[in-house]
Amino acid sequence: MKDRNYKGFLWHAIFLALTTTFTEVNTVIPALILNIGGNSIHVGIVSAIVIGLPVVTKLFFSSFLSSRKMKKPYLLFGVNLRILSLISIAITLVFYKNFSFVVIILLLYFELLIFSVGGAFASLPYVYLLGGFKKETRIRFFTRRSMITSIGMLLSVVTARFILANWSYPFQYVILFSLSAIALIVASLGFWIIEEKPSAVSNRVPLLNVLKDIPNILKNDKNFFKFLIYSNIMGAALTLIPFYIGFAKNSFRMDSTILSSVLIIQISGMFIASFVFPKVIKKSGFKGILKFRILLHFFLPLLAVLISNIGSLYGYLSIFFFIGFALSARIVSEDAALIELSNESNRVIYSALAGTLNLAIIIFPLILGTLISIIGYSTIFIISALLTLIAFPILKSINCPIDVINK
């Protein structure tokens, strides 16, 4: 059964990579918002929806899912919500000329909201079912998932580049979101073959009681509490990534061809990182990857400011290669660290809390979008880089199995 489940999760990872490329939240979606007439504030709002909202809504689902013996049906339900939302976005863009800017932006916000909520709902049973693997299998899965995802994204970005370069707006996006829906349908087949044994359940706890119990959970598990602080700092750094495209558009002339080049460069970085990170994990555990994330999110904003002042577009594009490293680091380490910090009895609630209490990831996009419109990109990027360094002493104080994986 375990081998069957392992293959099912890998199958999902392969085709999810296509959906991720065609709807890339740090490049494609911000570019779509800017193309329909949006600005940095609109990009901030949509970033809060697609990046921040999923993690915040997890707590609302955790109590319900903890009381379910079988988690797989709810995993599939969340995936199907995402498929429907992608189809809806494609249809909206086909008829975009029939709507005013306000109506089209609100429709897209709502459809992306459903996409994000579906992902949040699916992520809880996803992490729970992954936690059922043996530790060695989980390590192998996370490293291979990163490699498979990078390869799939590298191949699919060629298709995305062709679509963006050869179709005009909005049909280039209609095709991308339609292909994303198809890819996600195929990806979900991997979950259909998963076998699951009924799990031990607890009585459904009212959400208010869950909220009241949060202080006790954090007090009794200092490592988890410190991990939440680290996640908030890195969440704030992560929300800056969609604004690299806005910074580039503000500093250089960019068209659809450049955007597709950004995708290729970024995914190439993810691909190379998939070969580097297993070596880092073998030597330093997942904590080594978490440290590497801090360094990347410190240097990248400063590099963006420096290159934008020099005026080199091609130099600026090289930044997206290392953004690929940062995104890959998050893919490899985030779920893995959370699973190592939890056990079967608290995994769902810990996963939910790790999302819901990561307030920075939903608040910062809104703040950044507004502040950038007032004081500019350079100042915000420098401040963000400096704040990221606070995560170093927090991470160093965490004492848990993410330090070393082979003992």
Asked if residue 199 is part of any domain, the answer here is no
How far is residue 262's CA from residue 250's CA, in Å, rounded to a whole number? 16
Asked if residue 97 is part of any domain, the answer here is yes
How far is residue 84's CA from residue 45's CA, in Å, rounded to a whole number? 22
Q: Over the chain, what HEC string results?
A: CHHHHHHHHHHHHHHHHHHHHHCCCCCHHHHHHHHCCCCHHHHHHHHHHHHHHHHHHHHHHHHHHHCCCCCHHHHHHHHHHHHHHHHHHHHHHHCHHHCCHHHHHHHHHHHHHHHHHHHHHHHHHHHHHHCCCCHHHHHHHHHHHHHHHHHHHHHHHHHHHHHHHHCCCCHHHHHHHHHHHHHHHHHHHHHHCCCCCCCCCCCCCCHHHHHHHHHHHHHHCHHHHHHHHHHHHHHHHHCCCCHHHHHHHHHCCCCHHHHHHHHHHHHHHHHHHHHHHHHHHHHHHHHHHHHHHHHHHHHHHHHHHHHHHHCCHHHHHCHHHHHHHHHHHHHHHHHHHHHHHCCCCCHHHHHHHHHHCCCHHHHHHHHHHHHHHHHCHHHHHHHHHHHHCCHHHHHHCCCCCCCCCCC
Please give the distance of CA 73 from its chain centroid, rounded to a whole number: 23
Contact predicate 251/308, CB 8 Å: yes
Mean pLDDT lowest among 44-53, 56-65, 158-167, 211-220: 56-65
pLDDT value, residue 303 = 93
pLDDT, tens digit (0-9, with 9 covering 90-100), for 175-234 = 988 988 998 999 899 888 887 777 665 555 566 666 777 788 888 888 888 888 888 888
Residues 6+ apart with CB under 8 A from 376: none
pLDDT value, residue 332 = 77
How far is residue 344's CA from residue 70's CA, in Å, rounded to a whole number? 14
Higher pLDDT, 130 or 174: 174
Range(s) of the domain holding residue 147: 2-194+213-396
Q: Token pair for residue 135?
A: 């530790």
Asked if residue 30 is part of any domain, the answer here is yes
Alpha-carbon distance values, 337 to 209, 219, 243, 395, 403 (Å): 26, 19, 27, 12, 9
Contact predicate 35/44, CB 8 Å: no
How far is residue 277's CA from residue 121's CA, in Å, rounded to a whole number? 28
Higher pLDDT, 145 or 407: 145
Higher pLDDT, 18 or 37: 37
Asked if residue 203 is part of any domain, the answer here is no
How far is residue 100's CA from residue 97's CA, in Å, rounded to a whole number? 8
pLDDT band at 405 (very low <50, low <70, confident <90, very high): very low
- Residue 129: name the closest of 348, 401, 342 by CA: 348
Asked if residue 252 is part of any domain, the answer here is yes
| Amino acid at residue number 66 | S
Asked if residue 407 is part of any domain, the answer here is no
Strongest mean pLDDT among 150-164, 214-228, 383-397: 383-397
Global model pTM greater than 0.75: no
pLDDT band at 294 (very low <50, low <70, confident <90, very high): very high
Mean pLDDT lowest among 46-55, 160-169, 173-182: 46-55
Q: Token pair for residue 292?
A: 């590497």
Asked if residue 244 is part of any domain, the answer here is yes
pLDDT value, residue 400 = 60
How far is residue 383's CA from residue 304's CA, in Å, rounded to a whole number? 13
Asked if residue 200 is part of any domain, the answer here is no
Alpha-carbon distance values, 310 to 296, 304, 315 (Å): 21, 10, 9
How far is residue 108's CA from residue 274's CA, in Å, rounded to a whole number? 33
How far is residue 234's CA from residue 389's CA, in Å, rounded to a whole number? 10
pLDDT at position 306 over 90: yes
How far is residue 223's CA from residue 228's CA, in Å, rounded to a whole number? 9
pLDDT, tens digit (0-9, with 9 covering 90-100), for 80-95 = 999 999 999 999 998 8
pLDDT band at 406 (very low <50, low <70, confident <90, very high): very low
How far is residue 345's CA from residue 407's CA, in Å, rounded to a whole number? 24
Length of the chain as a residue count: 407
pLDDT band at 302 (very low <50, low <70, confident <90, very high): very high
pLDDT value, residue 83 = 93
pLDDT at position 299 over 90: yes
Please give the distance of CA 97 from its chain centroid, rounded to a whole number: 31
CATH number, residue 279: 1.20.1250.20
Q: How many domains does the chain have?
A: 1
- Residue 239: name the closest of 297, 286, 304, 296 by CA: 297
Mean pLDDT score, 130-151: 73
